[in-house]
Amino acid sequence: MPNAYISGTGFYVPPRVVTNADLVKQYGIDITHEWIVQRTGIEERHFAEEGVGTADLALEASKQAIERAGIDKHDLDMIILATLSPDHAFPGSGVYLQQKLGLCEGDNAKFVPALDVRNQCSGFLYSLATATSMVKSGAAKHVLAVGAETHSAALDLSTAGRTVASLFGDGAGAVVVSATEEDRGVRGWYLGADGRHADVLSQKVWDIKKRPFIPLNEAGVGQVQPDHMWAQMKGKVVFRHAVERMIGVLMQACMDQGITRDDIDLFFFHQANLRINQYVADQLGIPPERVVHNIQRFGNTTAATIPILLAESEQNGKLKRGMKIAMITFGSGFTWGAAIVDW
């Protein structure tokens, strides 16, 4: 049975930077830089321009990952794209990414399967687990796993929505998971979910139980109420469960692998809230220099946070071959996960 390792990484964020001060000046939100930083650690984020969608961001990150993996795009055997902000309700954004990569064109067209994963902040680790399993089973040799989000189009950028709108940014991260006979790669993945808290962090932009699923006015135009249009979050509940689940799944991963925190060189936490990650690290006694952060510059890019962290860390030299790393995430659902990887 082959091992599955991450052979290439890539990331892309749109060029437009929106600072905390910009939220006040450009959008008129009654908020301050200090208020946001104190609660989240976020100083700025990136927003895509109108006309740019999730598959567009995913394309740029994917091209980087494929190039750094040293393979041709036609070597891919599968695409897995995790997002909570797909280009459309359907089809999934994975097929749009396939087409944008040019896999469907020319004499050597390759119609690889494309799978979308809808596990929000935990989406990338669910995707990585799936890609790893496909490679280790022998069903695929190279799998492209992407996390991509275009949050800015679906944020209530007003004072009423400030507690959620100040958190999120746009971006994409990608990895290629490849087969190898070397003693390296993804050593284990650990996932969980608790649907009892599904409504604590949600965006119910339409309700398929209703007829029609989007209410119509007298002119036949769909109208969505604000509490369904925008993401809703009970922040204190999310914080408490995030801390508990992230600590628990990391401890589970370490026990299963027969390692301790001291065996791990770098920790890649999902970038939802710097204060959550600092609290988790403090509770586990993890030295700050071994926890990688970039939420200050990118905000919460949901499914994209961990692959962006990986790609950026590899490109700036912080993440090196031979390191043992841990990835840990928590998100809406509630869902969570961890992975241990020998880089």
164 & 192 share domain: no
Last residue of a domain, one of 143, 159, 183: 183
Residue in 270, 273, 277, 294 annotated catalytic: 270
260 in the same domain as 157:
no
Q: Which of 150, 183, 216 marks a domain boundary?
A: 183
Q: What is the pLDDT of residue 1?
A: 87
The region of weakest confidence among 40-44, 140-144, 229-233, 339-343 is 229-233
Q: What is the pLDDT of residues 184-223, one digit of tens each?
A: 999 999 999 999 999 998 988 888 999 999 989 999 999 9
In a domain, 224, yes or no: no
Whether residue 270 lies in the annotated active site? yes
Q: What are phi and psi of 271, to 5 degrees?
A: -90, 75
Determine the average pLDDT of the residues in 100-104: 96
pLDDT band per the 50, 70, 90 thresholds, residue 232 = confident
DSSP 222: B
> Which structural domain range is residue 288 located in?
186-199+231-342
φ, ψ at 93 (rounded to 5°): -75, -15
Catalytic residue among 3, 20, 119, 121: 121
List the beta bridge partners of residue 155.
none
Based on the fold, state whether residues 178 and 257 are members of the same structural domain.
Answer: no
Residue 178's domain is classified under what CATH number? Answer: 3.40.47.10
Residue 66 inside a domain? The answer is: yes
pLDDT tens, 115-156?
999 999 999 999 999 999 999 999 999 999 999 999 999 999
Give yes or no for a contact between 140 and 77, defined as CB atoms under 8 angstroms apart: yes
Contact 307/330 with Cβ under 8 angstroms? no
The confidence score (pLDDT) of residue 129 equals: 98
User: In this predicted model, what pLDDT tens digit does every residue of 45-94 receive, in sequence order?
Assistant: 999 999 999 999 999 999 999 999 999 999 999 999 999 999 999 999 99
For residue 162, being part of any structural domain is answered with yes
Q: Is residue 158 part of a domain?
A: yes
| Tens digits of residue pLDDT in 253-275 | 999 999 999 999 999 999 999 99
What mean pLDDT comes out for the span 101-110? Answer: 93
Whether 13 is in a domain gets the answer: yes
156 and 195 housed in the same domain:
no
* DSSP secondary structure letters along 79-94: EEEE-SS-SSSSS-HH
Same domain, 95 and 163: yes
Instruction: Clarify whether residues 191 and 179 are in a common domain.
Output: no
DSSP-derived pairing of the beta strands 201-202 and 232-233:
antiparallel
Q: What pLDDT digit, counting tens, does each position of 17-37 carry?
A: 999 999 999 999 999 999 999
Residue whose C-alpha is closest to residue 146's, from 90, 70, 65, 69: 65
Active site residue 119: no
Q: How far is CA 190 from the centre of its chain?
A: 16
Does residue 99 surpass a pLDDT of 90? yes
Q: Is the pLDDT of residue 43 over 90?
A: yes
In a domain, residue 40? The reply is yes
DSSP assignment letter at 194: -
- Residue closest to 306 by CA, chosen among 82, 52, 35: 82
**Number of structural domains in the chain:** 2
Assess if residue 81 is contained within a domain: yes
CA distance 25 to 15: 19
3-state secondary structure (DSSP) of residue 150: coil
Identify whether 273 is part of a domain. Answer: yes
pLDDT at 229: 84
Residue 227: pLDDT band (50, 70, 90) is confident
Active site residue 300: yes
230 pLDDT higher than 90: no
Residue 158 is classified by DSSP as: S
- What predicted TM-score, i.e. pTM, was given to this entire model? 0.95
